[in-house]
Every structure is written in structure tokens, then in C-alpha cells.
Chain A
Amino acid sequence: MRVTLWGTRGSIPSAGPETVRYGGNTACVEVRAGDGSLLVLDAGSGIRRLGTALAGQGRRIDLLLSHLHMDHVQGLGFFAPFFERGAEVHLWGPSSTDQRMRERLSRYLSPPLFPVRIRDLPCALSIHGLTEEPFDLGPFRVTAGLICHPGGTLGYRIEEGGRVLAYLPDHEPALGVKAFPGEPEWTSGYDLARGADVLIHDAQYTDAEYPEHEGWGHSATSHTLAMASLCGVGRLVTFHHDPSHGDDALDAMHAEACGAELPFTVVPGCEGLSFDV
């Protein structure tokens, strides 16, 4: 698998001179299989540039949403393949007990918040609510699982060619845990991330910032490291950077994270970064 990060910021796009290295676009990750098959993880503002890069390729696109918070869907209306006649796009996301995915997305993709309605998009669009049963998308085996974040949020485990990528962009596994990490059985996201070659994981707060944000659905650096260690991952990519953290602050967080001897590699999630899994 080849992974490219098109947006790694959390909460709100944060473009500015202080965020040029880590980037200001919100969550979007491109995953390519060896045969060129494509998965897109989340549709934050980073998806706009990805859409431009994909224009005219004519390949089926499977777009997996972790949840419907704005920083994960706000780029949908600016995703070029949506406006290509003949493009085949499958949109997957968390099910709800009372509303279909299409209805929930229509709250954003309709006037007055957005001028174009879903039904007016010229591409061949299919929208699917996900369960926790593993399923295949071309060469990818995808497992979605509910994780600890407000509002019904999925993490993903993606397997292809014997390699495993885990994507838990918004995740607070330490919420309410008196000594984190506890037992794997009682750790949110464990089954998704267990033994992953690469884990892309929420690392929004410093340890000092976390107490004021407990219950907001995100992790402190030490929680992210503990999660990666508990799950026995090979590489950790930090993600969902707080909009108030400029490049220098994120450098400092990364340096502190790498200060301890860790059984895995820590890679700072910078927009534009591309790597093999």
C-alpha cells in the first residue's frame, strides 16, 4: 500500500505561515493498492487537492468517512470527481439508528449551507452505511469499528498484500480509564490497531493540554504512544493536529514523543507526506 496524507489538521483548516510544514488542511488520506485501486479516508479540506490530482482518471473511488464532523466532510463539495459525469464514487460511513447516510450528509450538501444538492451531482454516486463486519473493496479488506469519540465514529483497519494500515483519526481511548492503557479487552480501538504495520492516530493535545479537553474525543501525546505500544504497531503517524499548534509547537511535541525509547517508529503526520506500508 502507498499512503499519502492530503490533510492532517484537526477541527478546522488552519492555513498560515505558522503551519506551512505540517499543513493546514483537515483530514484526508489517500491509500493506493499495488494494482492502483484507490481508497480515500475522510473528506476534510485536504480532499480538494486530491480531487484535482484524480481528475479524469476514470477509476472507481471508494471514500470512507470516519464520522460526519465538519472537519471530516467539509471538503466533499469541492471533490472534483463528484462533478465528473461517468465517475464512479462510493461513499461509506457510519450508520445511524434513525437516519440514512444520504439524509445526514444532505444536511450539509444542500442549501443554504451548500448550493449543490447530492441528487444534482453528475457522478455515479452510491452511499453506504457501514456495519462492523469486514468487507472487501477490490484488493483491500476493510474492517470498520466504532471507537471512542463523540457522535458515532468509525476507525478503520485496512489490509492489502499482507500489510495492515489502521486509521483512527479522532480517538480518545483514555477517556475514563484510571490508568491508561488498561487491558486490551477494555481498550477502544484495540482490535483495529492490533499488530498494524502503520497506525495513523489522533495526537491532538500535549499532556498538559489534555485535562482541559477531557471528553472532547481526542488524545494527548502520551495516550497516543501508549495506544501504539499496547497494540504492537510498527510505525505511528501522528494526526489531527490541534489548529492552535504551529510547526514549532508540533516539532516540540514530536521531539518529546521520541525522547523515550519506543518499540515503534514515530512519524509526524505532515501534509504531503507519502510512504509505503
Chain B
Amino acid sequence: MQPFRGGGGARHNARAMAQQAIELILLRQWASYLTIPVMLVDREGVLLFYNEAAEKVLGQRFEDVDDLRAESLAELFQLRHEDGRRLTPEEHPLGVALHERRPSHLRMRLRALDGSWRLIESTAMPVEAQGTRHLGAFAMFWEVPGP
């Protein structure tokens, strides 16, 4: 299994000196305390953060990830509907929240980076801030216990 990488470390290099919006900073800090898996992307869909609980489901530490876009999630994790049909990038909740700027929820299957298949439920919300600023989206997801 390949580690998930994309931009050769550009996430850290390009942004090292620019501060994120306070709403994203607080979301990230809040998520870092939760035991519910949380993933946060910016308005361009670039992965900003996922927490330790998400690391367990996704099978890779966040610190080991370079650039990743929301559009790549469906392919990377081989996202599928519960009945096995492939999920397009436009169908998964984070993509809907990001591009349609509305909440979205779905039960789906993913192949974690450790190779195991997981059934999860995911709820995603757009991050809408004062001044009609669309800052990105975040998804909370959890593994559905098997039968």
C-alpha cells in the first residue's frame, strides 16, 4: 500500500508563513480533542487536518501525509456506496459540503490505507464564516460495527 502523497510537501512549504482563518484554527483545535474521527479541508479542497481518531480509521498518521485534495479521497480510499457501487468525488459528503455548501450524510465503504475494508457513516458540513466567507468543509465519520 502506497502512503498517501501528492504535492511533495507543498502543503507545509507554501503555507508555512501564512496563517489560516481563525475559524479553521479553532475547528482544528476542537477536532484534535475529539475521539470522533474528523477531517478538515480548505475551500480549494486541500486537506488541512485529520485527528487521531481518523488516523485509526484511515490507516495512516496525518503527519505522514502530504498534499491531498478532497477530489482524490474517493479514488484513494476506493469509496463505494454501501451496495458496492463506486462513489464519485461529487457524491461523497465532503465533496458535497465543499462544492454545494450544504450538509451531507452518507453510509459508505472505504479501503483504509492498511488494506482493510471499513463500513463508515460520514456527515460533512461546509465552513461558512462571517462576511459570507466560504472557508472549506469538515467531515465527521465513524465506523459502523460489523454484523
Indicate if B17 sits at the interface (CB-CB under 8 A). yes
- Decide if B19 touches A184 in the complex (CB within 8 Å): yes
| Distance between Cα atoms of A194 and B32 in the complex (Å) | 25
Indicate if B72 sits at the interface (CB-CB under 8 A). no
- Decide if B25 touches A186 in the complex (CB within 8 Å): yes
Residue of A nearest to B49 (CB): A186
- Decide if B16 touches A186 in the complex (CB within 8 Å): no
- Decide if B19 touches A177 in the complex (CB within 8 Å): no
Binary flags per residue of B13-26, CB closer than 8 Å to A gives 1, else 0: 00111111111011
| Distance between Cα atoms of A184 and B17 in the complex (Å) | 6
Please pick, from B19, B21, B130, the residue contacting A95 in the complex, using a CB distance under 8 A.
Answer: B130
Chain B contact residues (Cβ within 8 angstroms of A): what range? Answer: 10 to 19
B12 CB to closest chain A CB, in angstroms?
Answer: 8
Interface of A is mostly: loop
Interface of B is mostly: helix
Binary flags per residue of A111-129, CB closer than 8 Å to B gives 1, else 0: 0000000000000000000
- Decide if B16 touches A183 in the complex (CB within 8 Å): yes
| Distance between Cα atoms of A175 and B130 in the complex (Å) | 21
Chain B contacts of A96 at CB under 8 A?
A: 130
Partner-contacting stretch, out of A37-45, A53-61, A63-71, A146-154? A146-154
- Decide if B29 touches A176 in the complex (CB within 8 Å): yes
- Decide if A131 touches B25 in the complex (CB within 8 Å): no
- Decide if B16 touches A147 in the complex (CB within 8 Å): no
| Distance between Cα atoms of A132 and B26 in the complex (Å) | 17
- Decide if A176 touches B22 in the complex (CB within 8 Å): no
Residue of A nearest to B29 (CB): A176
Please pick, from A95, A97, A188, A194, the residue contacting B25 in the complex, using a CB distance under 8 A.
Answer: A188
Contact (A187, B130) CB under 8 Å given A176-B32, A178-B32:
no
